[in-house]
Amino acid sequence: MKAIEIRNKYLNFFKAHGHKIIPSAPLIPENDPSVLFTTAGMQPLVPYLLGEKHPEGTRITDYQKCLRTNDIDEVGDNRHLTFFEMLGNWSLGDYFKDEAIAMSYEFLTKELHIDPNKLSVTCFAGDEDAPKDMVAANAWKRAGIPEDRIYFYGKSDNWWIAGEEGPCGPDTEMFLDTGKSACGPDCQPSCGCGKYVEIWNNVFMEYYKSKDGSITKLKQQNVDTGLGLERMTMLLQGKETPFDTELFLPVMEKLKELAKVEYIESRRIVAEHLRASMMIIADGGRPSNIDRGYVLRRLIRRMTRHLNKLQINLDELGGLVDLYVETLKELYPELIDKKEVIKETILEEKDKFVKTLANGEREFEKVSKKAKQENKNTIEAYDIFKLYETYGFPPEITADLAKEQGFEIDLTGFEKLFKEHQEKSRMGSEQKFKGGLAEQNEQTIKYHTATHLLNAALKVVVNKDIHQKGSNITTERMRFDFSCDHKLTDEEKQKVEDLVNEWIKQDLPVTIQTMKKEDAVKSGAECMFIEKYPDDVTVYTIGDVSKEICGGPHVKHTGELGHFKIKKEEASSAGVRRIKAVLE
Ligand code: SER
């Protein structure tokens, strides 16, 4: 079965069970400064897991583009990916364990035709926070899983939370027996030897973990499930790695054809990083030196190095992008429109890096030769730092090279040197940029302030209960999503535009204050997801027209913005409208 068929089967199965299908949210979270990328299907749904009403109801099913970078260095083996897709079904205070488990079992055995004898499941063993999950275990028994294939584990295996704080709960995980021989008499799903592969996770989110570690019950009992599309595709096709499925195969084969040397690891790294970079760029990400921009930069640089290693001419990159668009366009049609910007971004970034790479590699060879002569097995912090400072050579690439030549590397020492260096060169320019801005420059900062003015103007002109639902800013334009039950009339649009321009003309001061979250809320400051902010927040006030909790940055006076113009007003999703606007 192809990936697209698995996705369609999944969505249709849950649709038939009363779920509404919603499309993937962008890979770059629209309004969540707490994470760089969407790392799980639950992230865009957090407000609804916490009790806000979802416009599509209490049963939702979706496919979500995700990116996880914690294992970036493992990519190249036979299973790790940074970008992947997660299929999910969601109960927002609707069904709970019994129904979720019955549906999972039915989908796996009846729709995907997985042999029930190959399924094992794991449930939460219980501790002071929640009891042993006999409800889940009994539901599995009723579905048809015998007792000896139901395992109980503690929090490290069967409790799910994204990060340190947030909605969470015990989970039950499904494993497929690959038929490989057991690693020993005690071989179990948890042992990770490869015999059992996790295929799906049902999280029963009825708790909230606060920063102080305390766990309390949520208002409602939710179900959050996640089924990794690449892995399922691989298993159903009987393939050993996701790289052998139709998602990667055309590009893997092209790389093989172009390469002058056979390094399977490098081909996988190129194929994986290129796909991830394309998906990030398609969703608006651009390379930079901070946060998510740096992740993208890192992916492109690492890919470039491995193309070099394979002795593939870097001019082939454009063709590889074309091939990937062809390969993935059915799953991700957004790639078609974004093809040119993807190409430009990747090629430009590659060009910037090529010289650094050549110089850095040459210098690294000197360092490693010297280390070998001196019988050392470690690349010292000083050398890593010198490569970085003098040649702009990224430490993670030094680490890659070192690993390939069998060296240890003192990255901790490097970090220390790097910090000392940073302290010295810091010129007091506080660069703390947060708040959903992919890249900050003069123009995006202006747009950021304009979103606050627009938010305020909509309240005055249209309805005081309008709330921001999202925003996205590039150097060219701003996009602003807000709750509203009707299409704005031409008159409303005109009035909103006029009011924003009036405030710009008044050259209102933009001021910033730090305060306790509760005080900020009491003072009437607007915010989107109060749960997500730290205890101390910054509040931006514009004259007496707007007050919002926000990480900034903003302009100092509204007069800096220029002329504000609404370009488009359209529906975004049920009950949410979207305005695209520019500053001229
Ligand atoms: N949130 C869970 C996960 O990411 C299930 O979707 O595994």
| CA 201 – ligand 1 centroid, Å | 6
CA 295 to ligand 1 centroid distance, Å: 22
Q: Write the burial class of residue 145 (CB in 10 Å: 0-12 exposed, 13-18 middle, 19+ buried).
A: buried
Which residue is closest in CA terms to ligand 1's atom 6?
A: 226
> Which residues is 582 bridged to in the sheet?
565
Smallest CA separation from ligand 1 atom 3, residue: 226
Q: How far apart are CA 114 and CA 176, in angstroms?
A: 9
For the chain, give every domain's residue range.
3-242, 248-375, 377-438, 441-583
pTM > 0.75: yes or no: no
Q: Do domains 3-242 and 441-583 have the same CATH topology?
A: no
Answer yes or no: is pLDDT of 437 > 70.
Answer: no
Supply the CATH classification number for the domain 3-242.
3.30.930.10
Collapsing DSSP to helix, strand or coil, 359 comes out as helix
Neighbours of 491 (CB within 10 A): 9
Collapsed DSSP state (helix, strand, coil) of residue 109 = helix
**d(CA 225, ligand 1 centre) in Å:** 6
Q: What is the pLDDT of residue 576?
A: 87
Catalogue the long-range contacts made by 285-294 (C-beta closer than 8 Å, 24 or more residues apart): 285/27, 285/28, 285/438, 286/345, 286/438, 286/439, 287/345, 287/349, 288/438, 288/439, 290/433, 291/36, 292/28, 292/36, 292/37, 292/438, 293/438, 293/439
Candidate from 35, 42, 168, 207 with most ligand 1 atoms within 8 A of CB, to mutate: 42
Contact 321, 272 (CB under 8 A): no
Pocket test for ligand 1, best of 159, 204, 209, 224 (most atoms within 8 A of CB): 224
Instruction: Report CA(472)–ligand 1 centroid distance (Å).
Output: 25
Token digits of residue 249: 């195969």
- What percentage of the chain has pLDDT greater than the value 90? 74
For 218, the 3-state DSSP assignment is strand
Ligand 1-lining residues (CB < 6 angstroms):
40-42, 88, 160, 201, 203, 224-226
DSSP state of 108: I
Confidence of residue 532 (pLDDT cuts 50, 70, 90): low
Q: What is the pLDDT of residue 136?
A: 98
Residue 423's alpha-carbon distances to 410, 419, 523, 551, in angstroms, are 20, 6, 36, 23
**Phi-psi label, residue 259: left if phi above 0, alpha if psi -120 to 50, beta otherwise:** beta
Residues ≥6 apart with Cβ < 8 Å to 178 = 194, 195, 196, 197, 235
DSSP string across 164-213: SSEEEEEEEEEEEE-SPPPSSTT--GGG-SSSEEEEEEEEEEEEEE-TTS
Helices (H), 374-394: 381-391
| Ligand 1 centre distance from Cα of residue 152 (Å) | 18
At 429 the pLDDT is: 31
pLDDT at res. 432: 32
In tens, the pLDDT along 251-305 reads 999 999 999 999 999 999 999 999 999 999 999 999 988 888 989 999 999 999 9
CA of 388 to the centre of ligand 1 (A): 37
Q: Which residue has the higher pLDDT, 423 or 428?
A: 423
Domain with residues 441-583, CATH architecture:
2-Layer Sandwich (3.30)
Mean pLDDT of 68-76: 88
Whole-number Å distance between alpha carbons of 30 and 434: 12
pLDDT value at position 301?
A: 94
On whether the CB atoms of residues 75 and 82 are closer than 8 A, the answer is yes
DSSP labels for 523-546? TT-B-S-GGGS-SEEEEEEETTTE
